[in-house]
Structure 1
Amino acid sequence: MANENTLPLYDKIWLKYTFSRVMDSFTLFFLLLLLGYRIFYDRNYSIPCVLAMLCESWFTFTWILTMNTKWSPVRTITHLDRLMLRVSESELPALDLFVTTADPVLEPPIITVNTVLSLLALDYPANKLACYVSDDACSVLTFYALVEATKFAKLWVPFCKKYNVQIRAPFRYFLDEDDDSNRKEFPEFHQDWLRMKEEYCYLKGKIENAAQNSIPLVEEFAIFSNTDKKNHSAIIKVIWKNKENLEDGLPHLIYISREKMPQHPHQYKAGAMNVLTRVSGLMTNAPFILNLDCDMHVNNPKIALHAMCILLDSKGEKEVAFVQCPQQFYDGLKDDPFGNQLVTLFLYVGGGYGGLQGILYAGTNCFHRRKVIYGLSPDNDIQIGKKNGGVINGNSY
């Protein structure tokens, strides 16, 4: 019997899509027949016919590429039980969480708040987590919303972990009425549920009221009084610090609005990610990073542990550079007739990429190995950033 400490933390299951392969091959065969007819038998060389042949040639070429890509797809299965046998909670690596937002009107702060709350409530030691929010609008409203959300998080995070809540973005959780029977059967849970919903409604009301009225620029918000979102110095504020380094506490929460100058291009989200990487490298310097857009939330609280199964198990090969998670969109149409859930991209084409080397980075929902982002080989063990850095030294920099 194999030693449990030597068993792999994840497995790749090779899938046999025989029917799909046959249909793809038939499609390619008919495309080649069509091109053969165009070239050898169709003597009409008018502009429309030539354009049609060029389009059909390009489609055939892309079909060959796609067909080869998804020919041998894989599905990755992680083993959380083996991970916890091999690594204790105190030995899990630190993880920096990046959230990016750019416009408090198009991306209302309550949406960003829900994303942040779902991250703060991850099933992962709180002293190993640090959440960085990049605000490219330099909005006092976004900062105010995060400050107020921290107060709610002190109640929300323990509630989620006590009752093993799966969807930890409050706005989605309280839309689900499937827990009616549980709330009636368990009075304590019912009371806590009512309290959490009341507290969330209070938080939402405060943020909406702040959006309609001016926020008092007290000392905490004074730095935003004369800022131009397109021309201002960097603002970095530690909203919450896990001072006691508690595993079951609240993770660090840091607000960042990077420097903006009209004469220098800011490179949009890519520039924000670069700044988040540099700032976090000096403050917490976690070896792994998760980046999310502000309008996304985690619907599996153990997702960080699943990612660690892959990132910590090299299988004797080179280390994995990043782990891309699929996206799922809520409030979609039944049966997804327009393909909004991107099933083809993540399940079929993405699985094929996994069989070749690895899926493409989708720009969000991704765990990165920090040293790879810095341009180093995964095998390079050089310490990056400030060793033993911590979120200290006040609120603004």
Structure 2
Amino acid sequence: MPTTVTSRGRPVTAAQGNGPTPSANGRKSSRSRKVGRAVAVTGAAGAIGTVLLRALADAPEVGKVLAYDVRRGASEGVLWRVGDVRDPVLAQRLAGMDSVIHLAVDWSLDAAPSARSALNVRGTQTVVTAAAAAGVKRVVIVTSASVYGALPDNAVPLAEDAPLLAVPEGIVADLLEMERVAEDARRVHPGLEVVVVRPAALVGPGVDTLVTRHFSAPRLLSIKDTSPAWQFCHVEDLASALVVAAVADVPPVLTAGSDGYLDQRRIEEISGMKRVEVPAALALATAERLHRVGVTPAPASELAYAMHPLVVSSAGLRALGWRPTHTNEANLEAVLAEVRGATAIAGRRIGKRDAAVAGASAAGATVAVLGAAAFVRAARRARGR
């Protein structure tokens, strides 16, 4: 049945009027549904998964939702199964599912790289293999727009088929490997549709990324002679995009982000934060040194995301009628509200317990440079006395 989406990204069909009857609280009960797609979500108890489960519950094309994670989440109206996505028993759990949305990814800023990669890469491989064995029709893998890389000559916006030119370091290395797994799966499992969704920098409740920590710093970093372009994606907009990716006729790669972008001047206007301006060579060298000694969790290559444009078009989703409901301005306000009262020095948050991590494209190395610049200024003042 042909599927379109409303301006808020909600799938609808000509048969929508025959959908389930709302429950007493106005929500559709998944138990009462007789028709619709069966969708499984791995990592369902996380920050993105929680929002996604609500979006799936409201989607008229979805009849059953299986939530899979190492712990049971708070969402009701779905079928919960507890387990590790790297366990081969996953194939049995996915039996009868039409689509799987894979969110069981470790985005932690402070996790051991080997342990993080073991989950991210091997977990993705297992999900794809299990889905193929279970006869699932489609797997949706979430990576990040950061895999394109932030380069001075990037088109604004980038096309979804633009080459992946990011430096394979840190969490971005995991994301590039997950992209490779998706590409290999299309060849090895021709009966399985593999869709990759690449959101812009994620924001929203519970989101703690290198981007949000960038705005926890005492000052905003400005690199001389560069032209950054900031684009965000709210978790609610990502959730509606993932619903479309799970149920509609979509291309193999989708990007999702708010309309347009914010330049450095607009970022400063909205945030009200003062900036520290440093030469690129100094910023990169300082960030590299601080990462090498373990002061910052991000490699110096992450600094590129605060220097050069990285804006995606969301063309594939837009062709299906999807539209983001959050502007970049509103998203930045959400980040500022989320980090209010917290301070991040060298990419490490101080004064606030870390929340669930959900997002990747980042400029966390900038925070390290800010810390270094502060030390330099203090030393100069001391010598001038």
Q: TM-score range by the shorter chain?
A: under 0.3
Structure with bigger helix share is 1
TM, length-normalised to structure 2: 0.20
Q: Kindly name which structure, 1 or 2, has the bigger radius of gyration based on alpha carbons.
A: 1
TM, length-normalised to structure 1: 0.20
